[in-house]
Chains A and B, each alone.
Chain A
Amino acid sequence: MKKRAILSAFAVASMLALSACGGGGSDPLSGGGNDKGSAGSEVFIGSAEFTESQLIASIYSQALQAKGVKVKEQFNIGSREVYIAALKDGSIDLVPEYTGALLSYLDPKSTAATQESVNSELTSKLPDGLSMLTPSPAEDKDVVAVTKATAEKYQLKKLSDVAPHAGEMVLGAAAEWKTRQQGVIGLRDVYGINFKDFVTLDAGGTLTMAALTNGQIQAGNLFSTDPGLKSNDLVALDDDKSLFASENVVPVIKKAKENDTITKTLNDVSAKLTTDDLITMNAEAGTGTNLADIAKKWLAGAGINGS
């Protein structure tokens, strides 16, 4: 009898423990109970799930700490769908963003592509309670890249140079490019480029990179901060008619957390960060170097920690 009583007590206890797990685990971001990010004095810094976003978030974090701002890092949250929601409900206060991608998330119908139009549209479309600081010149946008040999052969510097030679070139990109305005359609309509053929590969990934460097394709869709652009001697053609939306790095912050120190520090960071810096840091991250160390090194080089 006694044994059975103990057993059932154990069963009840484990059931309680299980249900407690379910309740607590539903929202990992609500860490400190109801005490959400915005409530305290700390600035909760979030980031998307990919390396570059974490790098920039780490730079923000260390720059702010150097100015005596209390921060808490909540990196690697997930996709835009997840961290924008976290920003709205106050689980995080600050996140590095890309202007064009954020705009098309907030307004999928937007056709803005130039830096000015993207920035002004984005400012008006940000959800209530959020604001964006000054965008950095650093950009992680879609580029059409060619090898140095191809660029020299056809004298290519910008996308408008491509049209006369496109009949001899095969383009490789992800499947969505086939039907996208910011892809094959726009290249045809805006630049008059009709490639000889289109090969479906991946979005700026290993397949496109390998096919481009090995000559299976003559032009490929890569991203402007890909370290492979430098290490493989590729030329990212200048988007001189602004087909691809600009994707400047920009801090998006909860309005309630904004103050002069934070604004000035982050704007300093943005002003000094360049696309080349991102390429270099991505390459370092690719070798397995700790992201916080890479961020620290950049801050020291930019002279932001010193003051």
Chain B
Amino acid sequence: MAAADGDVVNIFGWLTDPANWSGSDGIPTQIGYHLLYSAMALLVALAIAVPLGIVIGYTGRGEAVVAGSANALRALPSLGLLVLLFLVISPVVTGQLVYVLPTIVVLVLLAVPPILTGTYAGIQNADPDAVGAARGMGYTKRQILVRVQLPCALPLLLSGVRGATLQIISTATIAAYLGLQGLGRFILDGRAQANFSQMAGGAILVAVLALLLEFGFAALGSLVVSPGLRRSTKNVPSSPATITATA
């Protein structure tokens, strides 16, 4: 990377150098890898957290245990867990998987708690009037869940997914620690090679990527959330979180 001239930190120069925007370790490729790891982790986290959140929100059981342990997982230091998982699985797993698996697991553990919380809280906080009305109209419990409670839960669920995505995007840089690609490559290699413009450039790209996704989720929210949920039409705003989440 030609932009590093000794001690001079030229972040703008690094970001605008065409040489850094092409090739197998260029910025677009690394953003691609970064998004790939993030998407994999997010999908796994969704597959775990949404069904679990629905069960907890619907039955009202297990909230303390599951939510408590999920939140405890958040406190695990990601980097330590990454190295530990690598050391544990490296004798039995071969190929690229030995690097990918610990990375995805660490990211999933970060992403599950916010999605889980958003899902069950959303279902529990679904407008009781709407649920009562649906019941009065002869909806079965299943119909109430799918047609009333889940759509009502969507704003909170989405805000959980949004939080999880930000966590994943900012933490996916640790993939580089296990020799994988992604924007963390610029940060780690920049530090190791004393190329601080590359290091700062990588960090800025992560922040920009997170912001773009944040805007993307805001737009998504306004598309999929029922308009009735976005306006504070009720006399008593029983769930202020619902309103802010879609703002």
Contacts and interface: CB of A to CB of B under 8 A. Distances in A.
Nearest to A202: B177
A95 interface: no
Contacts, number: 41
B98 to A, nearest CB: 5
Interface in A174-230: 174-176, 178-180, 199-201, 206-207, 210-211, 214-216
Contacts of A210: 86-87, 90
Interface size bucket, A side?
A: 10 to 19
A172 interface: yes
A200 B86 contact: no
Contact of B193 (A179, A214, A215): A179
A175 B83 contact: no
A175 B192 contact: yes
A211 B98 CA distance: 9
A199 to B, nearest CB: 4
Contact of A178 (B87, B91, B94, B193): B193
A216 B90 contact: yes
B200 interface: no
Contact of A174 (B86, B185, B192): B192
Given A175-B192, A199-B179, A201-B179, A211 B83 contact: no
B97 to A, nearest CB: 10
Contacts of B189: 175, 178, 200
Q: Which of B87, B176, B185 has the most CB of A within 10 A?
A: B87
Contact of A214 (B90, B179, B185): B90
B218 interface: no
Contacts of B87: 206-207, 210
B31 interface: no
A183 to B, nearest CB: 10
A172 to B, nearest CB: 7
Nearest to B187: A175
B90 A176 contact: no
B209 to A, nearest CB: 21
Given A199-B179, A201-B179, A206-B87, A175 B94 contact: no
B210 interface: no
Nearest to B189: A175
Interface in A127-178: 172, 174-176, 178
A258 B90 CA distance: 51
B178 A214 contact: no
B82 to A, nearest CB: 10
Contact of B188 (A175, A206, A211): A175
Contacts of B178: 201, 207
Contacts of A180: 193
A301 B128 CA distance: 82
Interface in A45-84: none
Nearest to A208: B179
A138 B90 CA distance: 33
Contacts of A207: 83, 86-87, 178
From A199, A206, A214, name the one whose CB has the most chain B CB atoms within 10 angstroms. Answer: A214
Contacts of A215: 94
Nearest to A170: B179
Contacts of B185: 200
Interface string B173-185: 0001011000001
Contacts of B83: 206-207
Interface of A: 172, 174-176, 178-180, 199-201, 206-207, 210-211, 214-216
7 contacts: A175-B188, A175-B192, A175-B193, A178-B189, A206-B83, A215-B94, A216-B94
Interface of B: 83, 86-87, 90-91, 94, 98-99, 176, 178-179, 185, 188-189, 191-193
